[in-house]
Amino acid sequence: MLARSQLAARQPNHTAGHAPSECCLWFLRTISWRSGRSVATLWVLFRRFRYLACFLLTVRYPTLAVSHMNADFYNEMYDADGTLRPHYRVFAEWLAAMPPERRVRKQAEADTAFHRVGITFAVYGEKSGTERLIPFDIIPRIVPAAEWAMLEAGLRQRVKALNAFLHDIYHDQEILSAGRMPAEQVLNNAQFRREMVGVDVASGIYAHIAGVDLVRAGAGETYVLEDNLRVPSGVSYLLEDRKMMMRLFPELFSRHLIAPVQHYPDMLLENLRTVAPTGVVDPTVVVLTPGAYNSAYFEHTFLAQQMGIELVEGRDMFVKNETAFMRTTQGPQRVDVIYRRLDDDFLDPLAFNKESMLGVPGLLAAYRAGQVTLANAIGAGVADDKSIYPYVPEMIRFYLGEEPTLHNVPTWMLRKPDDLKYVLAHLSELVVKEVHGAGGYGMLVGPASTSAEIEDFRARILAAPEKYIAQPTLALSNCPTFVDSGVAPRHLDLRPFVLSGKSISMVPGGLTRVALREGSLVVNSSQGGGTKDTWVLEN
C-alpha cells in the first residue's frame, strides 16, 4: 500500500498545455497547410475542443503522444502518453467513426427511455427540484478479464471476513477478546444492535447483499473506499445501463466478448431462497419498501418485478405468533424471507423507532425466533460504519488467516488525539467523513472547499471528534465521458454487488458511477453523479 504522503491530494497542473507539444505542432502545421488557416487559429480551436480532438487523434494515430493527458490521474482508456489501452481499442475505433448527430440522437433516445420507465433519483440542494434522471453515458468502463479475476477474489475474501466479523460480535466476540480491535469501538457503535446478541441467523449470514465501492488512484492502484452492508442500492441502474447499451448499439456486442449481467435477479432470488428459515422447502420471498416517496423506489419495484415476487410496504404485513404474514386478496400468506429496503430503525416500531409507520410491529420477535429471514440482517450496519472500516484488513487476517487482496485507503481516526491533531492541521488537503454518513452527505472535500466551509467543519469536528474519520484526497481515475461541452475526463468509481448465502456469488463488473461536475470527486447519484455500463471482457 502506498504511504499516506504518496496518497495525498494531487491537483492537476492547470498551467500545463498552454503551448502545443512537438507532435501537436506537427499535426497543426499539417492541417494549416491543408486548410489555409493559421497555426495560431487552429491552436485556439484545438484547445477549446482538445479532449475530443485528442480522442479522435489517438484512434487515428494510436502511438501519438497527447499533451492533454494529465499524469496526476490514471485514465481508464489511455495510458500516460495518450496511447489507447488495448482493451479499449475496438470500442474507440467504433466510437470515432460514429457521426456526431447519431451520438446526440442516441443519447436523447436513452434519456427518453429512462424517463419513460421512471429511472430517477432524489438530488437534494438542486434549485431545479429534487427528482431527476440519473444521467447515462454511452462510453463504457471496460475491465479486462484478468483484472476482474483479481477484483473478484478480493471481494470474496472481504465479504467473507465481514460476515465472520458480524457473527463473532453478536456471539463470542473473539476478535475483541484478542485485542485485535477496540471493544468500545464496536459495542458503543450506534449500529451495534444489542437485540441481536446471541441470535442465530439463517446460514450464519448477515450481509446477504454487499455493495463494495472500489476506486483506482495514483498509478492505477485499486482501493476499497467503503463497504455498504445496510441497504446497498444501485444494482437496477447496472442492469438498465446494460439493457440500454444493447438496445442502442447492438453491433458493439458482436465485436466484444462481454460477460453478461442480466441474470442478477435470478441469482439474487436463488440466494434469498437458500437462506430461508430451517425446514421451509418452498419459501415465500418479498421486497419490503418504505414506499413510493423513497429515493430508490424505482429499484425496489424493478427488482420485485424481475424476481417475480411481491413488493410490500409495512402496512401490507403483520406478525402473529412470531410468524410474519402479508395480506393478499386470498387471505394472509406466510412470508419466509424479507429483502428489506429500509433501515433498522424503521423496521419494527415495537423494538426500534416507536414513531415509524414504515415497518412491521413484532418483526424483530419473529426474526429472533427464527421464523423469518431478513436480508440484510438487523445489525449488519455496524460492519459498514466508517469507524469500523480501518479494521477490515485485521478482520481478514484474524478470521481467514490471509493477507488482504484489496487494500484500504489510509484512514485517520479522529477519536485518537494524534490523528485529530494532524487532521485539524491539514483540513484543506483531506477528505473528512461522518462515520455514520452515506450518499455523499456529511463530508468535507478539503481541496474543493472554501475557507468558510473548512472552518465550519472544523467546529463540527471539535464538537464531536469521535464522529469523524479522515482520508487523503485520492487522485481518482477518470474516463472520457460525454458532457454538455463534448468529451471530457470525469472521475469514477465501481460498485460491485456481492451476494452471500450458501455460497458467495456476483455478476461480473458492477455499477460504474461518474462525477459529472468538472473536478468533482463525489460520484453519488444523490449528489448529481451519473452512470456508465461496465464491461468485463471474457477474453
Which pLDDT does position 385 carry in this prediction?
A: 94
| Across 433-438, average pLDDT | 85
User: pLDDT (tens digit, 9 = 90+) per residue, 46-78?
Assistant: 555 554 555 554 444 443 333 345 557 899 999
Mean pLDDT estimate for the chain: 87
* Percent of the chain residues past pLDDT 90, beyond the cut: 71
Mean pLDDT check: name the lowest of 61-70, 89-98, 227-236, 373-382: 61-70
Break the chain into its structural domains and give their ranges. 143-399+476-536, 410-472
pLDDT at 506 over 90: yes
pLDDT at 13 over 50: no
pLDDT at 423 over 90: yes
Residue 104: pLDDT band (50, 70, 90) is: confident
Class of the CATH-defined domain 410-472: alpha beta
| Across 153-174, average pLDDT | 99
* Percent of the chain residues past pLDDT 70, beyond the cut: 84
Residue found by looking up cell 395480506 in the block: 327
User: pLDDT (tens digit, 9 = 90+) per residue, 356-402?
Assistant: 999 999 999 999 999 999 999 999 999 999 999 999 999 999 999 99
CA distance 515 to 524: 7
Which pLDDT does position 329 carry in this prediction?
A: 96
Which pLDDT does position 80 carry in this prediction?
A: 83
pLDDT at 15 over 50: no
List Cβ neighbours of 271 (8 Å cut-off, separation of 6 or more). Answer: 208, 499, 500, 501, 505
User: Do residues 402 and 417 touch, judged by C-beta distance below 8 A?
Assistant: no
Cell numbers standing for residue 432: 473528512
pLDDT at 10 over 50: no
| Across 499-518, average pLDDT | 95
Which pLDDT does position 442 carry in this prediction?
A: 78
Residue 459: pLDDT band (50, 70, 90) is: very high
pLDDT at 23 over 70: no
DSSP result, 324-359? EEE--TTS-EE--EEEE-S-GGGT-TTTS-TT-SSS
Q: What is the pTM of this model?
A: 0.86
Neighbours of 278 (CB within 10 A): 9
